[in-house]
Amino acid sequence: MAKNVLIATLGESPIVVTSMVHALKRKNNLTINQLHVIHPRGERLIDIGYDLIKEHLQEKCIITQSVLPFSDVNSLETSIEFLRVLSDSIQTHDEARDHVYLSLAGGRKNMSALMAVTCQFYECVRGLYHILDKYEDDPDNQNFHSIEALFDFEEDIRGEKLSPPVDSLILVEIPYKQLPSGVTLRQYFSEVQFDPDDPSFIEIDDELEGFYREILQQEKTDLLEVYLSKVAYEQFKAIGGGSTQKQLMNCFRSMQYSQLLESRGKSLRNAKTDCTPFKMGRTAERPFYYRTNGDVVVCEIALKNTTYEAVTNGKKEIWSKKHDKFLHVNELNNTENSILIVPLGKTPMVVTQTFALLSTREEANIEKVIVIHPKIAEIRNGVRLLQTAFKQKGFDRTITPIQIDDIQDVASKNDCDVYLEKLTNIIKDVQTGNPNISIHLSLSGGRKGMAALTLFAAQQANIDTVYHTLITDADLEEKIEKETTLAELRRLKRIQQAQRLFLDDYDQSKFELIRVPVVPIS
């Protein structure tokens, strides 16, 4: 018999998980038969939080857990592993023909944003939910207490806190569309071997394919480091931009996924070299690479109007002896003028942080920054502070705010529908008005629900990649949260504000910029 299964992420507040179970029952008449909690390992307080959930709900539903093999989801590798654990869990219930519901309310914001990535592949997923506290800004009445705060209450009161009045909560259903080809794509990505020359080969972006193969295949592999030789680098730069260079950039990034590298690598006939051409869909371009100490080195690039055997030209020598590592692919760029779009909440630094990391990590030439936000005075004040900071840094770019007047928050399904439609239309208008400029879209701003909706807007606007920024050091993250509130920033002089917002005051090596490839909806 099919079960109703809730899969929820857990962070510092177990109440968002227990509240979701109660709210689904009271507000949606949906009884959860099994709760599956996903959380990082090694965090004693989170372990205690899970125990509190289990004790509180043990008579209401079956409770299981998946413990992530790391303490935080704060890198590309850990993000992929989180998505793998999530997809494995959904797959299990899909095979059992259960009805699956997802809660993105718990854990880090990036976990919530990423949760929207996999749900579209599975027909068994029946809903994606967030839950809000009506009294989140009222310290005397707020409901979502941290694990530490729960132990300040007596034991009998603690149990009551885990079941706050449902009327004081807002259950938000996040609208999404399942991928029309979701099942086919899932099967395709989960195949270990395939033939890219087969007529049934699915034409999709190389980087996207590597990303989702890594998630949907059962065997976990470590990401590889990919370098270019000096020859390959000069060949790449000589292309001079355009679609071919962009395809190659995506190809180089996809080569960090070992399963894709192995399945796309094709041996040369009669060649006595240690290089292998990498198949890029049906295109004629082929990067030739060799492996050394686990790393991948792209030796040369065979371009159109050449034969792949001609690249070797009958050479008998070993390529690795003449093609050393020259440049890591993360330092490579195909610089294009671009516009950065950031859906903004109450943390203005997400704009400057994304701008700074894109500018340094991908050498993006960002001509304009557009911030999109609900009608909230505090956010408008943050936009004005951003405009001042950009001028203070001497950037000759404009911060263009676009306010969505119809809503003040994404606190209902209707709010989500309005926000998604408005955000999608704004992005499309920007694309229409700037046909030759690429769009960088940030997932990091606003509420957790807004992050998921931003991903769906990217799909509808045919944007192939969205960006998420993280701080990899927990202590630094806590420090920055305190130092970049509007109140704290206003205490500073303008030059100090700009230095803090643009990361000049912090160790940038502790920040991560994650590219999330977007699966097209058609």
Are 339 and 368 in contact, with CB atoms under 8 Å apart?
A: yes
Residues 306 and 420 in one domain: no
Q: Give all strands of the β-sheet with 398-404 in edge-to-edge order.
A: 398-404, 365-374, 337-343, 438-442, 465-471, 511-517
pLDDT at 308: 54
pLDDT at 522: 61
The CATH number of residue 280's host domain is 3.30.2310.20
372/240: higher pLDDT: 372
Residue 304 has pLDDT above 90, yes or no: no
Q: Name the DSSP class of 204.
A: -
Q: Domain end: 178, 195, 215, which one?
A: 178
Residues 322 and 350 in one domain: no
Residues 322 and 341 in one domain: no
Examine residue 219 and state whether it is found in any structural domain, yes or no: no
Q: Name the DSSP class of 175.
A: P
Residues 417 and 431 in one domain: yes
Percent of the chain at pLDDT > 70 equals: 89
Residue 317 has pLDDT above 60, yes or no: no
350 token code pair: 């997400």
CA distance linking residue 68 with residue 70, whole number of Å: 6
Examine residue 89 and state whether it is found in any structural domain, yes or no: yes
Residues 350 and 365 in one domain: yes
CA distance linking residue 438 with residue 358, whole number of Å: 13
Q: Domain end: 331, 355, 375, which one?
A: 331
pLDDT at 316: 46
Examine residue 109 and state whether it is found in any structural domain, yes or no: yes
Residues 35 and 130 in one domain: yes
**Each residue's pLDDT tens digit, 75-115:** 888 888 999 999 999 999 999 999 999 999 987 777 777 88
Taking 3-state DSSP, the helix, strand and coil percentages for the chain, each rounded to the nearest 5, stand at 45, 20, 35
**Each residue's pLDDT tens digit, 424-478:** 999 999 999 998 888 999 988 888 888 899 999 999 999 989 999 989 888 998 8
Residues 409 and 341 in one domain: yes
Residues 157 and 41 in one domain: yes
For the entire predicted model, the pTM comes to 0.86
186 token code pair: 């899932």
Place of tokens 């914001």: 109
Are 210 and 254 in contact, with CB atoms under 8 Å apart?
A: yes
Q: Domain end: 283, 315, 331, which one?
A: 331
The CATH number of residue 486's host domain is 3.40.50.10770
Examine residue 117 and state whether it is found in any structural domain, yes or no: yes
Number of domains composing the chain? 3
Is the backbone of residue 281 left (phi > 0), alpha (psi -120 to 50) or beta? left
Examine residue 196 and state whether it is found in any structural domain, yes or no: no
Residues 377 and 407 in one domain: yes
Cβ atoms within 10 Å, residue 456? 22
Examine residue 215 and state whether it is found in any structural domain, yes or no: no
Is the backbone of residue 314 left (phi > 0), alpha (psi -120 to 50) or beta? left
pLDDT at 143: 92
Q: 377-392 and 349-361 are packed helices; what angle lies between their axes, rounded to 10 degrees?
A: 40
243 token code pair: 């679609």
Lowest mean pLDDT, pick from 242-256, 303-317, 377-391: 303-317
Residue 312 has pLDDT above 70, yes or no: no
Lowest mean pLDDT, pick from 160-174, 246-260, 403-417: 246-260
pLDDT at 418: 93
Q: Please choose, from the candidates 269, 220, 246, 206, the residue with its C-alpha nearest in 3D space to the C-alpha of residue 78.
A: 220
- Under the banding of pLDDT at 50, 70 and 90, the label for residue 118 is confident
CA end-to-end span of the chain = 34
Q: Please choose, from the candidates 247, 488, 248, the residue with its C-alpha nearest in 3D space to the C-alpha of residue 348.
A: 488
Examine residue 145 and state whether it is found in any structural domain, yes or no: yes
Q: Name the DSSP class of 319.
A: G
Q: Name the DSSP class of 493.
A: -
Residue 249 has pLDDT above 90, yes or no: no
Residues 315 and 387 in one domain: no
Q: Which domain holds residue 370?
A: 337-517
Residues 271 and 403 in one domain: no
Q: What is the mean pLDDT of the chain?
A: 86
Examine residue 394 and state whether it is found in any structural domain, yes or no: yes
**Each residue's pLDDT tens digit, 267-288:** 655 455 677 888 876 667 788 8
Residues 377 and 286 in one domain: no
